[in-house]
Structure 1
Amino acid sequence: MALAWHPVNTPLADLMGTLARSLWDAASLSTVLPDAGQLTPVHSAGWEIDVFHDKADAVSGFSARFGLYYEPDDEDDPDLDDFPQHLPSPQWHVDHSATRQQFDVLFEAGRAAMAARLGEPEAAGMFDEDDDWRYAVWRVGDRLIAVAQAEDFASHSLYTEASIRVVDFPATSKVPTADEMYDILVNQVS
């Protein structure tokens, strides 16, 4: 088992909160997150922020991975030797002998960082008991901030990621839970 992580810090939690409260047009985003209009990840304060776009190419959300976890099939798994395939910045740490429990502690640190700014989440739990993926969700106007564990699409689901995401969501709709929340997060990257 292996874990790569960037400790969640105040600048990241503040940035994600600011993105949730900001307008997402190019002019507004340029003051919060320069280069957010590009189709490549944006780097800010040592973080790689993925910018999602809808079919009309308008910004539809953001994601900042803060952890990657890999559980090899066997001890001689070549993917373990290559873990991780990419580190966004030198602030990331790697432990090739980490446990799932350490990944869960990392998730909890991300949840706690957002809770320190937003209060307790409106919804929290597990997406799928088979995978033990956790999530916590806060509403910020017509947006959601989610701290979540799920498959890492950048590695074609080879790894599991922990991330903080900001997504559009109608202010009049009930905060989603479990499968509904998972579907929202997956639709951001598909």
Structure 2
Amino acid sequence: MKNIIFDLGAVIIDLDLPEMSRRFESLGVKDFQSHFNLNKQGRLFTDLEEGLISPEAFCEGLRELFKIEASDEAIIQAWNGILTDFRPERMALLERLSKDFKLYLFSNTNKIHADCFEASCQKTCHRSLQSYFTASFYSHDIHDRKPRLSSFEAVCQLAGIKAEETVFIDDNADNVAGAREAGLQAYHLLSPETILELDYEQWKK
């Protein structure tokens, strides 16, 4: 294998849904996770991830959905509560792996979160998140999202890589299935396992 494509959330960084829910609860939103969680999400969230609506429209949509009067700034702060800090040992692993593979990032994300985690990486690691990868692909930029076959085909085409020479690592079973359908070798990362425990030697062949 020549290439490894990593997911971001719950793979490179951990996610904290309870913290996000607590922040939204402080804004008057009850049971936020019934509208958004790692297994399902409403149309408003999907549209944001595909870059079909702006962050401002997303905030307005949340105000209408939950009947709250919070400011954009307060909503964004709550929305970013899901993101945790980058762990130096995982970033050091990426740096080591880049000597043997071309590394790529493919995340179902949105501009609000991307702005936040990119700033967090710069603060924690003193370098940009992009610098760890040959290229990075975010759903809101390519207007497509996992697990669609078209999203994996688009990433391979944009990266100029062959699916059969590529490993994809993700924590979501549907995304792993989508990658396999696209011809990639895929690994389903299941908690409590992390990328630090994986046997990368098997993919050097």
Q: TM-score, normalising length from structure 1?
A: 0.29
* Greater relative CO (CA pairs within 8 A, separation 6+): 2
Q: TM-score, normalising length from structure 2?
A: 0.27
Question: Between Structure 1 and Structure 2, which shows a larger proportion of helix residues?
Answer: 2
Specify the structure having the higher radius of gyration (Cα): 2
Question: Between Structure 1 and Structure 2, which shows a larger proportion of strand residues?
Answer: 1
